Structure 1
Amino acid sequence: MPENEPWDYTLYLPNDPRAVTVCRRTLRAILTMHDLAGLAETAELLATELVSNAVRHTKGPAALRVRRSREGLVWIGAWDTDPAPPEPPVPLGQALESEEGRGLGLVTACAQHWGWQPSARFGDRGKYVWCELGVA
């Protein structure tokens, strides 16, 4: 596949804490296959935070989506069944001292952009929380 060709993967997940490990390993494999292994460490951290929130705070299924745009951005997103917006990120300095609430603070610090939008999958209303990384 040419370097600038877009691609898109979706991994559907049960509501199971082990899904986070499956996501990290799957994401690393995808990035490695597309010669983007240099992004893997940061991408895994971001995916871990997004998927952990989806699994921890909802009772339904979830999904991890990873895609690359023609412009060279890698988007990582997690869908869950809670349609409510995510809590605002805690500033990273405060979050490092807390056991809870660090997720979106880390996403804010490590990603170029992040956001959320209402979305539906599996016939359920929910939300999609995403972030993007530039490919250097």
Structure 2
Amino acid sequence: MSSSNPPSTHRADSVFDTALCVDDLRDALSAHGITLPSLRVDLPSFAGTYRPPAGLVALGNCNAATARRLVAVLRDTGTAPSRPPLDVELPAVPQALQGLRRTVRRYLDVPCADVQLCVTELVTNVIRHVGEGSAVRVRVARTDGNRVRVEVTDSAEEALPVSLPSAPDDETGRGLALLDAVALRWSVEQGVEGKTVWCELAGAE
């Protein structure tokens, strides 16, 4: 009688340990916005189908030890993995602006009128002062501190943006003034193959 108790105890402990691991893993993934329907399995019956019941959880072939490592990694990072930046190359033409604004909105996946405004104004600045049809590279990315960084690069190193005074009824010339109004900061970086005008804005929620 006594000889049969240890395996039974081991089995119960393994199932209980599996349940704890999966609960911890589910919570850690949830903190990163990740939900896995496969974790809704009936754990006692699931674990009981394996010999020995070593704690396989319903996440592929992940065992309890791997589940603990996943939980530790997810909790140590503090934030969800960042997305790669949006990186688009296109000709600077007015017809491209609407599609570019939509692309930025889809990338950030939240309303982002100020970000769209900055992208529009920076590309429009290239159209006006570098030349319509000039090649531009637009990059948008979330950065540390819940900010969004916008970069617009063109090949004209010498054509630096200059903020000029404008009258109330002027229809043009307000781009950099708008940038000053909505961006936390902005600047220009010159390189061997052109320049990049960049700005940072409070992160869109």
TM-score, normalization by structure 2: 0.54
Q: Could you report, residue by residue, the CA deviation over 1:8-62 in whole angstroms, capped at 9, with x for unpaired residues?
A: 1111012322122221111111111xxxx14x11111111100111233224311
Moved more, 5-14 or 60-69: 5-14
Instruction: Give structure 1 regions of 4+ aligned residues with deviation exceeding 6 angstroms.
Output: none
Query: How far apart in 2 are the matches of 1:50 and 1:5?
Result: 25
Residue 106 of structure 2 is aligned with which of 24, 29, 38?
A: 29
Contact 2:139 2:152 in 1 (8 A): yes
Structure with bigger strand share is 1
- % identical equivalent positions: 32
Tell me the matched-pair count: 125
Counterpart for residue 130 of structure 1: 198
Counterpart for residue 177 of structure 2: 105
Larger radius of gyration: 2
Query: How far apart in 2 are the matches of 1:20 and 1:78?
Result: 13
Structure with bigger helix share is 2
Instruction: List alignment gaps of at least 5 residues for structure 1.
Output: none
RMSD of equivalent CA atoms: 2.2
| 1:72-111 equivalence runs, <5 A | 72-90=146-164, 94=166, 96-111=168-183
Cα 1:13–1:131 shift into 2, 3 Å: same
Q: Tell me which of the two structures has the higher relative contact order, counting C-alpha pairs closer than 8 angstroms and 6 or more residues apart.
A: 1
The residue type equivalent to 1:10 in the other structure is: D
Query: How far apart in 2 are the matches of 1:47 and 1:96?
Result: 23
Instruction: List alignment gaps of at least 5 residues for structure 2.
Output: 1-31, 33-78
Contact 1:95 1:102 in 2 (8 A): no
Contact 1:95 1:105 in 2 (8 A): no
